[in-house]
Amino acid sequence: MTKNPVINALGALAYIAGLVSIIFYGGDAIEHSVENSIFVPIAFLSLFVFSAATMGYIFLGKPLQMFLEGEKKEAVDLFLKTLLAFAGAAAATVTIGLYITSVL
């Protein structure tokens, strides 16, 4: 992705939010049309593999490129800062979600 860990973390969070929104709001339409079908586990496993590849690209793409170019310390720093930024974004999301559900 980029050399900005905050943008990388927000990109990962945006991917997760988009995917969960599609599953949450579109789940009812899919649930009744493919109930008791072999395609449901195939779809979920495919989605899992795709998500793992996407997150791998977001978190490891630029650091791995930097590492292979000889910028080893910078690559490790970027990876760790991206993880820290993502942890902060995830914690903020959970906190906001808990606050909203307790108010409603």
pLDDT of 1 strictly over 80 = no
**Six token digits for residue 83:** 């993880």
User: For the chain, which residues make up each domain, given as ranges?
Assistant: 5-103
Task: Give pLDDT tens digits for 4-25.
Answer: 999 999 999 999 999 998 888 8
Q: pLDDT tier at 29 (50, 70, 90 boundaries)?
A: low
pLDDT for res 103:
87
For 43-75, the pLDDT digits (tens) are 889 999 999 999 999 999 999 999 999 999 999
Q: How far apart are CA 22 and CA 4, in angstroms?
A: 27
